[in-house]
Amino acid sequence: MYELIKNLGTWLTSGAGWTGADGIAHRLAEHLQYSLLATLVAAAIGLPLGLLIGHTGKGAFVAINLASFGRALPTVGLVVLVFLAGGLSMLPVYVALVALAVPAIVTNTYAGMTAVDPDVKDAARGQGMRGHQVLFQVELPLALPLIMTGLRLALIQVVATATIAAYVSFGGLGRYVFDGLAQRDLVQVLGGAVLVAVVAVALDLLLSGLQRFLFRHRTA
């Protein structure tokens, strides 16, 4: 065990291991690209949908059940299916990651909107606010904590699952996991897993800090 940890430390801190097309820096950049782009696309889909059904109360049953269906999809199976249909491109990876991230965003956004006190919304309408003003000036700010939680959950899930890009011969930190398994290189496998965990924790802390900053700024 000591020898494994020692070899892992050497692998992670070796200058040669951080350079080149197969270096940690390049693989990390690829992993972040896959994760952030997929989460942004998922947010562009999930946030408006969650806000709409939360504000109007219409379509909630269909939207939430679709979100649950998306959460139940086998990610690797979806990647392989789209990969076989779409050829050699990153499309299957992005489709799978977006499908994974959308449910958490939709459900948390919807939950945040429905948690807003109806009396607060009625008071806003009583002051002459129109529907879009109630949505953006009253409901959205109050729902923001749960919305941010949904974005954090989605991003962490995507970061952890983006390793599947390597399953269909693309890059990212998953390359170390799959290549290490193929080569029976436990140090490389463990190194890839550690790097993915560190990235996930770092991004979660970053979003958590942003969330605290936004709420402090809003209440100041």
* Maximum Cα–Cα distance across the chain: 70
Q: 82-105 in b/e burial notation, b at 16+ Cβ within 10 A?
A: bbeeeeeebebbbbbbbbbbbbbb
Rg (CA), the chain: 21
Query: According to the model, what pLDDT value does residue 129 have?
Result: 86
Residues 6+ apart with CB under 8 A from 99: 70, 73, 75, 78
pLDDT digits (tens, 9 = 90+) for 23-60: 999 999 999 999 999 999 999 999 999 998 888 888 77
Query: According to the model, what pLDDT value does residue 192 have?
Result: 92
CATH number at residue 153: 1.10.3720.10
Query: According to the model, what pLDDT value does residue 66 have?
Result: 66
Residues of the chain with pLDDT under 50: none
Query: Is residue 110 within 8 Å of residue 48, measured between CB atoms?
Result: no
Query: According to the model, what pLDDT value does residue 152 have?
Result: 92
How far is residue 170 from each of residues 82, 93, 141, 190, measured CA to CA in Å? 14, 9, 39, 19
Distance CA 60, CA 1 (A): 51
Tell me which residue range forms the domain holding 201: 2-219
Query: According to the model, what pLDDT value does residue 100 have?
Result: 84
Query: According to the model, what pLDDT value does residue 125 have?
Result: 84
pLDDT digits (tens, 9 = 90+) for 177-197: 989 999 989 999 999 999 999
Distance CA 1, CA 20 (A): 29
Neighbours of 106 (CB within 10 A): 29
User: How many domains is the chain built from?
Assistant: 1
**What is the value of pTM for the model shown?**
0.86
Residues 6+ apart with CB under 8 A from 196: 31, 159, 160, 163, 173, 174, 177
The structure tokens listed for 169 are: 């011969």
Q: 125-164 in b/e burial notation, b at 16+ Cβ within 10 A?
A: eeeebeeeebbeebbbeebbebbbbbbbbbbbbbbbbbbb
Query: According to the model, what pLDDT value does residue 70 have?
Result: 64
